Chain A
Amino acid sequence: MIQRLLPFFTLLALFVILSIASPNFLTSTNLSSVVRQTAVINIMALGMTVIIIAGGIDLSVGSILALAGLLGAMTMEKYGIGWGMAAGMLVGMLCGFANGLMITSLRISPFIVTLGTMGIYRGFALIISKGLPVHEIPPSFSYLGEGTLLGVPFVLWILLLCAAATHTMLEHTRHGRYAFAIGSNPDAAFYAGVPVKFHTTLVYAGAGLLTGLSGMIEVSRLMTGQPTGGQGYELTAIAAVVIGGGSLRGGEGSVLGTLVGAFIMGLLANGSDLLGTNPYWQQVIIGAVIILAVAFDELRKRRIKD
């Protein structure tokens, strides 16, 4: 049980250490910026959590983030904030839906399909924008990523809302249960009459929707739509899920774990900024944390199973 809580303790320890080590850490400005920086990855990682629970993976979310953000920003230029937001999220959902459809109908592994669409979606973003960022964003749109509501960053509310919705979906709906069943043993789920293809596709579409939302938050934070944005985000999102106890073998993972995982990485980045560590070392530290987290988790599971 203690080992299951290891990610929580790690996060807590990091928090305490950084509070002591740096006088600038425990300030509302700094904490707000940590939240803002991690929100994009965090919301993406929620969708990734469901995918990983259902035994899949999505390498294309970084590209989806760019494509959705770009098209959202372009719509916003012409039709305003509301339509822009809707367009960005719709594009994200459609991209995820297409991933799911290909995985279930072509019977190709999710790794391969999304490796392919990672390139395809990125390519579309570059073709549509001719490689140039979109700048004409309505100034008030910055509220989404940079605004404050009731004293905390507005994105924190969005994140909490998304997390609560994802958690409820996973633990309290049939769709969520089927995600666990499919990830744990797709054959058994199929033999039990579970509509495996439908729910698998839905899982990817849901993750796409959340990624589209992250894309719009990224646009709001940068006030541009970048066709080259979000590169490498997919791996950070996967890392957050895995640090939080998700298993790439499927059937395991939780929203709370993923949140903790994403914040651990966020604090590590923030901490090394504050302490003036060589930024190149950040990558080494985060990489080591991923391996250690999974190693401890495997150790725990092996002890239970034997």
Chain B
Amino acid sequence: MLLQLKDIQKRFGGVSALRHGNLDVQAGEVHLLMGENGAGKSTLMKIVAGMLEPDGGDVLWQGRNVYFRNPAEAAEHGIAMVHQESLLAPHLSVAENIFLGREPRRPLGWVDRREMLERAARIIEQHRFPLKPEWKVEKLSPAGKQMVEICRAIQQGSSLLIFDEPTSSLSETETQEVFRIVRTLRERNVGVIYITHRLEELRVIGDRVTVLRDGETVHSGPLNEITTDQLIRHMVGREITAIYTRSALPPGEEVLRVEHLTREPALKDISFSLRAGEIVGMAGLIGAGRTELCRALFGVDAIDGGKIHVRGKAIRIKSPRDAVAAGLALIPEDRQRTGLATALPISHNVTMANLASVSRLGFLNHAAEKQMADDFTQRLRIRASSGRQLAGRLSGGNQQKVAIAKWLVSGARVFLFDEPTRGIDVGANIEVFQMMDDLARRGAAILMVSSEMGELLQVADRILVMRQGRISGELPGGTTQEEIMRCAAFEISAVTTEEHPE
């Protein structure tokens, strides 16, 4: 037995994040860790990796009781974590990042650069990573950065690797690449803990699974002895009866028409339209230009050419401010960075896009604002103590609801959802879909970008597919994953986001 966690407890202030965290991992297995947001997965893993100290319980490493005061101590024992949000130094090279803190030295303490580059090249080659030691990390895609973190773990001789939702921001090909790497690690008798929300990847990669709910381990066992439905039930703690169903609606008038929109080099001659009451899916591989399209429509990036019509009127959108005035809303892919002010209360976030509705002559009406925030907190079932709670302290799903609520206040008619379910759990997924359906029923037009084909098929009335900056196809809602892939495929290379000057 590599690692055993027994009744781990952790409290933050008055809130108990973990009460009975139990987990055991063997060498050479891929152990899935599942649970809804806020179930305590990340907290448990941070304790294993030495980033947090437990308040109670035992951590047994190879049968011996251990206690890590910081990540360096965990690393010395052979435990490494591959983070969801990369913890690399962006301005340094791949090799420098791999050896950060343990650079090969020459006498007198000089860093032996040649030795470092050679050893990095060897690791990269052994695992067939599409990387070069001298590349700058800031130019790498999310997948590339993860690979650097994995290299670092290998270099440290780790015998336990923790992956925190490694595939949540990766394309299909990159995901396959990560799976391949995880399998090689398993073959080399490394233990792997793998946190994921994606039900479809469970059986592709996992050997055993542990489910956390409300800070307690509620299930642990081999994957082939449990059905996916049972797993979901363990995670949610109740039967999911309200499976999402899309209301049948006849599409109304055209709300948004885009003609020949171009922004070099990301977007080329894009034309499509959205009707009231429609949910249109947008599929494509990472880097196909979907996020760029949302940004261009919303005025974040300037366009080189093309026309945008909202409800029959040609409009020029030069900033998000123009877009908001025209009735557009963007729920961006990266909630923490662009969707929310996490250090501000829920109420301030909810009214941010339309502060005019709760103010007069520039002065705020705090009572009206509180009322509005409380209304939305209740209506959208945002799990918070009150509208004054800081947005950053909500779980992913609840943060997403706040990000959406902001646009309900603004009275937008065209909604651009960029990866709306990223990093949120099964229960919240369905609630978000339900919100989209509600919006459509009230006459909004919705464009939903998603990399999860399953959810596009479930939610969208029709699906546009992008490939290399163009719309490469339009498919009916009842299409198949194979059909989408056929339109989206022929990806070139996903590892670098920019050309590398060699």
Contact = CB atoms under 8 A, between A and B. Distances in A.
A195 interface: yes
B321 A195 contact: yes
Given A184-B343, A184-B344, A187-B337, 9 more contacts: A171-B364, A172-B366, A185-B342, A189-B341, A193-B320, A194-B321, A251-B341, A252-B343, A304-B13
Contacts of A303: 13
Interface in A143-185: 171-175, 177-178, 180-181, 184-185
A9 interface: no
14 contacts: A173-B364, A177-B348, A178-B355, A180-B344, A184-B341, A188-B337, A191-B320, A191-B332, A192-B324, A194-B321, A194-B352, A252-B343, A306-B13, A306-B52
A191 B344 contact: no
A193 B353 contact: yes
A281 interface: no
Nearest to A195: B321
Contacts of A111: none
B300 A177 contact: no
Nearest to A188: B341
Interface in B336-360: 337-344, 348-349, 352-353, 355-356, 359
A185 B340 contact: yes
B338 A191 contact: yes
Contacts of A192: 320, 324, 352-353, 406
Nearest to B324: A193
Interface in B129-170: none
Contacts of B353: 192-193
A171 B349 CA distance: 15
B364 A177 contact: yes
A171 B365 CA distance: 10
Contacts of B332: 191
A177 B343 CA distance: 13
Given A174-B355, A252-B343, A304-B13, A190 B320 contact: yes
On chain A, which size bracket covers the interface? Answer: 20 to 34
A64 to B, nearest CB: 26
Chain A to chain B: the 3 pairs with minimum beta-carbon distance, closest first: A193-B324, A184-B341, A185-B341
A266 to B, nearest CB: 30
B352 A188 contact: yes
A181 B325 contact: no
Contacts of A193: 319-321, 323-325, 353, 410
B34 to A, nearest CB: 24
Contacts of A181: 341, 344, 348, 352
A174 B343 contact: no
Which of B324, B348, B364 gathers the greatest number of chain A CB atoms within 10 Å?
B364
A192 B354 CA distance: 8
A222 B386 CA distance: 52
A191 B343 contact: no
Contacts of A177: 348, 355, 364
Contacts of A187: 337-338
B362 interface: yes
A174 B362 contact: yes
Nearest to B331: A191
A251 B345 CA distance: 11
B12 interface: yes
B490 interface: no
Interface in B388-422: 406, 410
A174 B364 contact: yes
B330 interface: yes
Interface of A: 171-175, 177-178, 180-181, 184-185, 187-195, 251-252, 303-304, 306
B320 A174 contact: no
A192 B343 CA distance: 16
Interface of B: 12-13, 52, 298, 300, 319-321, 323-325, 330, 332, 337-344, 348-349, 352-353, 355-356, 359, 362-364, 366, 406, 410
Contacts of B340: 185, 188
Contacts of B337: 185, 187-188
Given A173-B363, A173-B364, A191 B300 contact: yes
Nearest to B323: A193
Nearest to A178: B355
B331 to A, nearest CB: 9
A10 B368 CA distance: 37
Contacts of B323: 193
Nearest to B349: A188
A173 B341 contact: no
Given A173-B363, A185-B341, A192-B406, A306 B12 contact: yes
B85 to A, nearest CB: 15
B343 A185 contact: yes
A195 B319 CA distance: 9
Contacts of A195: 321
B42 to A, nearest CB: 13
Given A251-B343, A252-B343, A188 B338 contact: yes
Listed residue (B338, B339, B340, B352) with the most chain A CB atoms within 10 angstroms of its CB = B352
A190 B323 CA distance: 11
Nearest to B410: A193
A175 B362 CA distance: 7
B341 A174 contact: no
B283 to A, nearest CB: 23
Contacts of A251: 341, 343-344
Nearest to A182: B341
Contact of B339 (A184, A188, A194): A188
B363 A191 contact: no
Contact of A180 (B325, B348, B363): B348
A171 B323 CA distance: 27
Given A185-B343, A251-B341, A173 B325 contact: no
Contacts of A180: 341, 344, 348
Most chain B beta carbons < 10 A, residue from A172, A184, A193: A193
A172 B344 contact: no
Nearest to B342: A185
A174 B359 CA distance: 7
A187 B339 CA distance: 8
B52 to A, nearest CB: 8
Contacts of A191: 298, 300, 320, 330, 332, 338-339
A300 to B, nearest CB: 12
A194 B338 CA distance: 12
A174 to B, nearest CB: 5
Contacts of B324: 192-193
Contacts of B342: 184-185
Nearest to B335: A188
Nearest to A303: B13
Nearest to B407: A192
Contacts of A189: 341, 352
A3 to B, nearest CB: 13
A187 B338 CA distance: 5
A190 B332 CA distance: 12
Contacts of B339: 188, 191
Nearest to A194: B352
Contacts of B12: 306
A172 B321 contact: no
Contacts of A174: 355-356, 359, 362-364
Contacts of A190: 300, 319-320, 338
